[in-house]
Structure 1
Amino acid sequence: MVTKLLPEIDKVYFIDSYTLIHILEGSGNIQVDFENYFDWENKAIYLEKGQYIKFLSEDFVVRKIEFPDETMFRNKDVRVLFKHLISLGYIDFAECSDCKSFLDKSIFSEDTQEIIDISSKQWYWQNPFQASRSEYQIIFDVKEVIDEQFPNNLSNTDLVKLINENGVDAQALVHKKIGLSINKLLSKKRLVESKRKIAFSDKNIQEISFEMGYKDAAYFNRIFKNTTGSTPSEFRMNFDFKERDTFVQDIIGLIKAYHAEQRSLEFYADKMNLAVKTLSKKTRDKLNTSLGQLIRSELISSSKIRLAEDTPIHEIAYQLGFEEANHFSNFFKHYTGKTPTAFQSEKYNS
């Protein structure tokens, strides 16, 4: 989806899918993942799901292109656009005649694959770290390992073993090309994710410290303050975040997506970045029902749809996560007053 955006100053825009932000007008400051950047006119920024962007000046006009088809990003040549290393990567459209030509002629084209291909070629041409294409693949392999493993409290030795599986001294290559050790990259990733949890969730600091791979909350507090100048609690209090009230939309969407696989409140609380008690209270306050009842209602709704389609009862039970068909039948009868077989019979007799 392609849209033109006149962003509100200081508003947090969450990235829900792979997204290209093309700065059409404006050259002031932007903030991405708690870092401020300058001079962005006629540049394109690729962001991945989970990041956010704030515009810190009033004169921005932005073209926003969202890519709902995530399969194109499995190409390792494309990840250089989204997997930012030590700073926010970008495509300079002033130097990319193909990019400018494509976007000028297409204005708001829905043909998004072409701009991805053009941009990745331009990124390699810009060559920000003066590396070969094969060296970049190793560097971004390292980045992906860190992104996946940062909460697991692995030692630097453990990380190096994972990273150097192909026999290349990736640690030396990363340090030479981007100027940071693997351990520094790991610490940087942990810090960003810690800030994200602190700013955008109501989880307590101890819980966040454990999730980020720290065994000791006091040590986490000390490291965080030494790095940022404020304690986690102070950071949470001072971060300017105007919360979007999309709670109902978000929780209903999660239940529709996961009700067949997940019944635990802890799962949904984690997805919503809330404590279980907080999620339960917000659900009750906003929807006048319990989270458990919402999940059960969705299960019943899904059951009725499948029964109406003449899906065999044992298949429905399997599809909706019941271990046995009789468990499903008992559940359905308990909440509807009818057995699945009786429900299907009524359909034929109606």
Structure 2
Amino acid sequence: MLVNKSLDIPYQQLPFDGQFNVAQLGMFRNELTDQPHRHDHFQIIWFTKGKGRHMVDFVWYDVEDNMIFLLRPGQVHQLDCEREGYFLSFTEQFYFTNKHDKETLYDFTTLFDNWHGYGPISVGSSTTASLQGLVDLMSREKNYAPNCSRGIVKHYLNAFLLLTEREKKRNITETMMPLTHDARVVHLRRLLEQHYHCEHQVAFYANAFALTPKRLNEITKDGTGRTVTELLHDRIVLESKRNLAFSHKSVKEICYELGFEDPAYFSRFFKNNTGISPQDFRDMMFK
């Protein structure tokens, strides 16, 4: 079971100074690293060697050698493993400093949009040396004080992200049934992230695409294997779990914050989707 005696889950700030960091996993340990915590920035964890498990948003994943986990701001995670490798952390402001960057640099947010569902990325042997070389280059440039170039680091990071995306696509091709890639699915994911706490009707999201709910469901089903309602419910349940496990908010407060008017209905919704009541889930987390 997850244990967090403080109840309020902390946000772990960027290590060291600045909006970018790269370091070996073994060098970054404190009282939070092996406890459930979350970050207010993007993070890439590359296990060059690993044995054990890694929890991301209440789901445990087995850790293997040459495996990458991508974490968005706000995702809860916990390490329970032997590990060697690297972590890279950066803010969106670091990567996109101006409009020109938006137009010329890779939009990494698509890489972190898990429109196929969340999962670690296994890195092929042919890509390992390239990623290692880029990590070495980023580390060398970052430590080239006081003459470190943000632009050089960003371009090394850009190359790292592109290689990671290619590995992610290879993983999906090898391990999952073929699904249609549609940019509208990525955009839908972003709309859900923005409005899940107040908009619970498929019609709202369909109107954003000038589509009928039925047609948007068809597109979403082809792209993810799930309907709009299923994706929406998944996101609401995830946020409910985060709040139940790591905040002092009452079930009623969580209910209202997530756009439900009736706490009893919210409790039924949560139990229908998880098999357990909100209060029982909270109690279970702190046994």
Selected match of 1:22 from 46, 50, 59: 46
The equivalent of 1:63 in structure 2 is 86
Classify the secondary structure of the residue corresponding to 2:117: coil
Instruction: Kindly indicate whether residue 67 of structure 2 is the aligned counterpart of residue 43 of structure 1.
Output: yes
| Bigger strand share | 2
Q: Deviations over 1:28-53 (max 9, x none)?
A: 22110111222443111111110121
**What is the alpha-carbon root mean square deviation over aligned residues?**
3.1
Fraction of identical pairs, as percent: 22
The equivalent of 2:279 in structure 1 is 233
Which residue identity does 2:71 align to in structure 1? Answer: L
The equivalent of 1:79 in structure 2 is 109
Selected match of 1:145 from 178, 185, 191: 191
CA distance in 2, matches of 1:174, 1:78: 22
CA distance in 1, matches of 2:273, 2:162: 38
Please, which runs of 5 or more residues in structure 1 have no aligned partner? 242-350
**Taking structure 1 as reference, are residues 165 and 121 closer, same or farther at Cα in structure 2, changes over 3 Å only?**
farther
Taking the TM superposition and a 5 Å limit, the aligned residue runs for 1:249-328 are none
Which residue identity does 1:185 align to in structure 2? Answer: L
Q: Deviations over 1:89-137 (max 9, x none)?
A: 4332125x345323146446353232122222333444456456xx342
Selected match of 1:199 from 230, 241, 245: 245
| Bigger helix share | 1
Selected match of 1:53 from 52, 77, 92: 77
The equivalent of 1:5 in structure 2 is 25
Classify the secondary structure of the residue corresponding to 1:28: strand
Which residue identity does 2:88 align to in structure 1? Answer: I
TM norm structure 1: 0.59
TM norm structure 2: 0.71
**Higher relative contact order (CA closer than 8 Å, sequence separation 6+):** 2
Contact 2:270 2:278 in 1 (8 A): yes
CA distance in 2, matches of 1:235, 1:180: 25
CA distance in 2, matches of 1:43, 1:225: 34
Instruction: Give the greater-gyration-radius structure (CA).
Output: 1
Instruction: Kindly indicate whether residue 145 of structure 2 is the aligned counterpart of residue 100 of structure 1.
Output: no
Please, which runs of 5 or more residues in structure 2 have no aligned partner? 1-20, 97-101, 143-152
- Please state how far the C-alpha of 1:141 moved relative to its aligned partner: 0.8
CA distance in 2, matches of 1:92, 1:80: 18
The equivalent of 1:32 in structure 2 is 56
Classify the secondary structure of the residue corresponding to 1:56: strand
Which residue identity does 1:226 align to in structure 2? Answer: N
Instruction: Kindly indicate whether residue 249 of structure 2 is the aligned counterpart of residue 179 of structure 1.
Output: no
**Taking structure 1 as reference, are residues 164 and 119 closer, same or farther at Cα in structure 2, changes over 3 Å only?**
farther
Contact 2:124 2:167 in 1 (8 A): no
